Structure 1
Amino acid sequence: MRVQALLQEGLSSAIDSPKTHKRRSVVFPAFLHAGLAASIEGKSRDELFFADAHGQHLRRTRVSTGSRSWFKTALTTVASNR
């Protein structure tokens, strides 16, 4: 699997290598294999694994105007619902 970084600025985006520009090893749990193998069947090596309906990169999700992070927004939402 090839990992690339997608840099987004407004509506523009560019492909780059990960921050350190080094190869990385990622733990891949065996239980994911069957589902992921089925979802990439028929795709070429150059197609994106996670893509939008048009085969393009997924855009960064913004869930609030005050935060650029969906994760921080989720944490805040969970904390306020307790």
Structure 2
Amino acid sequence: MQEIVSIRDANQHLSRYLERVEQGAEVIITRRGKPIARLMPIEPASRLSEAQQAARERLNERMRRGYKLGGIRVDRNTLHERD
């Protein structure tokens, strides 16, 4: 189901439209009658293609291993440490 609403209406009743989106609806937001944005549900990870899922798994594995820079092993946590 698709619903068309103005920016003003979307701003005043955002939580109402987000509830509808959670239930699977699509909401088109307009400015002066012209569509400018679309609110729609985010696809769950299970809807990723096989290639996308494989790429995500490769990325996660690489992040777990970390990177070696000049003999020093640098992982994500080390990069984000603060003194």
For normalisation by structure 1, the TM-score amounts to 0.25
Structure number having the greater helix percentage: 2
CA radius of gyration, larger in: 2
Structure number having the greater strand percentage: 2
Q: Which structure would you say has the larger RCO, counting Cα contacts within 8 Å and 6 or more residues apart? A: 2
